[in-house]
Chains A and B, each alone.
Chain A
Amino acid sequence: MPDMLRTRKRAGPIAALIVALATLPLALAACGGGTSSDGASSSAKGGGDVEVFTWWAAGSEKLGLDALVGVFKTQHPEYKFVNGAVAGGAGSAAKDLLQSRLQAKDPPDTFQAHAGKELTDYIDAGQIEDISALYDQFKIRDVFPADLLKLLTVDGKIYSVPSDIHRANMVWANPSVLTAAGLDPKAKYDTIEAWFPALDAVKAKGKTALSVATTWTQVNLLETVLISDLGTDGYIGLWDGSTDWKGADVTKALEDFKKLMSYTNKDRDGLDWPEATQMIIDGKAAFNVMGDWAVAAFEEQKQVAGKDFIYFPVPGTDGTFDFLADSFTLPVGAKNPDGAKAWLETVSSLEGQTAFNKAKGSIPARTDANPADFSVYQQTAITSFGKDTIVPSLAHGAASSIAVLNAIADATSKFTTGASDLKTYQSELAAAVAL
């Protein structure tokens, strides 16, 4: 390079371009490198590698996976667990790689997927097997709640085994910020409407009333407002076509959503959920709507439930469990299907679910787990899961296919950045669901 700079020769246009291009790769040093794995080398019955594809690569998710692997090793010592975890982008990096691998007919032996409608694409594409028979073989039809099995069943067939349940309609709050704003931390809000005065009070103190992060967390907020304003039947109707997206009640919900967004932090689009939850821990914000994985963020920082932070269902959604679940599948053409089935058996077993969820902070999908094994928050979630109405989460792939979710996210981002008005937003949402 220095030589090039010193040459006193007239550079022709081609020469200039060649020199320029020759140094270009330096500028393009991007981060890349896909993981390629051969998967199982031996698929002989009763042994070999089992490649388990997840996006559980760090934090409590990693701990959960490790615990589950521990149980797998005890239950099925003949198989070797191969970790196919891909980090990054809350699962988006993993999903992208998975998409290519399935397209190339090189599937892992089993992969993690959100239970519910997000599986539709894989099912329609013929990429995952119907595993209803395993439900009978493992005798697990009765151990999962009927509501959940109904949401997992497509045309009478079940394609995945749920490993854990999360609840998306939770509010996390900092009681000292609330007290400073003259609010009673124990106050109950019956509707979103009733919540506004409290948010106003915090806003008046110059704090962020409601912290939120990038688009998907805004979609998470939107779905809880929809559940609150439309009720569980109205909300479920949005996904089976019996509720009109263009109706006046949806307009009302979107108005509430718009008002809620006016209380949020301005840097939201650059943040992800841990940063928004951190604002509660740091006392910079009063409320945060986030799924119950947030409890792990509080506990990691030695925050005590009830004293340092409080939680309650999003106003107007008490008695509703906005669920999302991780689940495992059996891909068509898996190299070691027996190994994959052994993994699914461990995932569905009581020991597996208990070990995994204790570490991950979620709750078991099985109803026969012993609540005493779990933390205070988890115990309340287990109780709610047992008695509440279960509705599928939009932001986490239980309620809609990926294409619909992406279209809703696009419309939401356009709306919350101020590029579209409420009327346009509503019609774009209606169009998105029709995809």
Chain B
Amino acid sequence: MPRQIRQWGPPLLLISPSLIIVGVFVYGLIAINVKTSMTDVHKAAQATGRAPSHFVWFENFATLLGSDAFQHSLKNLLLFTAVFLVGTMVMGFLWAWLLDRPARGEGIFRSVYLFPMAVSFIASGVVWRWLLNSNQGEMASGLNRLFQIVGLGFLQNNWWNNVNVGIAAIALPAIWQLSGYVMALFLAGFRGIPEELREAGRIDGASEWKLYRYVLFPQLSPVALAAVIIIGHMSLKTFDLIMSISKPANYQTKVPAIDMYVFKSSFNYADSAAVGVILLVIVAVLIVPYLVRTARTEKN
């Protein structure tokens, strides 16, 4: 027994502060949030205990998921995530592929592509709000004006003010900011592939395309998956970019995170918590299978 304690004790002691903090501030608060989401605390008075509140199980979830407004938010989130993911993956891969070849000034380009990531979403959102101004014709400014100047006037559109696909326009700045990050991931992936493998492939007579298709791509798939997971979960939680380009009340750019904010400011804590739980579940659906898969791979 003492030997076992000696074996387990010190490591346990060392990680216990973080265990406790994570336990309280992450899992404890998630538990409280889930509990709040199953009550009928829709008014300020109930939150302070001056009015009675009840446990209602999944009623809030049923109401939310059944409401047109929340379905619209979910649809927006799906569209945003799809555009954001495809955009960053394509751009990031393309840049990494270009930089992977020995090119002059590689370091400069690498920095140039990575820099947008250093800007906060709030700051870049303000600039993009000007760029994505939806005025057209004589009143045009931002990108619409640019289209006019270069003779591509027909490309003018109302950007994020389109009620159906407007949210996709907000994915543009997000792609601009995070493509560099995906590039860095892919570049690390490319550099992680031993030169010998390429040489062996070439000696065996593989064309450039075949070399990529059968030698390089398979080795990049873990990196690609990691990139999808990271961009995907960021996209699901996106809030600040939308807040700084649009406004929380704007219907065309509603996503669940915005709903959560609006519910909270209306003292509707139960629905706000319910949106939080729904978001958590969506993110978990994305991440948990990945973690399970990697855990299995590591074991083998």
What is the interface of chain A, defined by CB distance below 8 A to chain B?
1-2, 4-14, 16-17, 19-21, 23-24, 26-31, 92, 95-96, 99, 103, 121-122, 124-127, 206, 208, 214-216, 265-267, 269-270, 284, 402-403, 406-407, 409-410, 412-414, 417-419
Contact = CB atoms under 8 A, between A and B. Distances in A.
A14 B250 CA distance: 40
B133 A414 contact: no
A12 B222 contact: yes
Interface residues of B, number: 72
5 contacts: A8-B191, A99-B267, A125-B45, A265-B135, A269-B252
B118 interface: yes
A5 B298 contact: no
Given A13-B297, A21-B230, A406 B266 contact: yes
B12 interface: no
Given A16-B189, A270-B133, A29 B223 contact: no
Contact of A125 (B48, B234, B247, B297): B48
A26 to B, nearest CB: 6
A124 B45 CA distance: 5
B161 A266 contact: yes
B188 A122 contact: no
Nearest to B192: A11
Contacts of A266: 134-136, 139, 158, 161
Interface of B: 42-45, 47-48, 50-51, 69, 72, 107, 110, 117-123, 129, 132-136, 138-139, 158, 160-161, 163, 177-178, 181, 184-185, 187-189, 191-195, 219, 222-223, 225-227, 229-230, 234, 240, 245-252, 262, 264-268, 293-294, 297-298
B266 A417 contact: no
Contacts of A125: 44-45, 47-48, 50, 267
A418 B161 CA distance: 10
A121 B227 contact: no
A267 B298 contact: no
Given A31-B120, A96-B265, A16 B129 contact: no
A124 B43 contact: yes
Contact of B184 (A23, A28, A122, A208): A23
A8 B194 contact: yes
A73 B144 CA distance: 53
B133 A267 contact: yes
A13 B226 contact: yes
Contacts of A419: 72, 163, 251-252
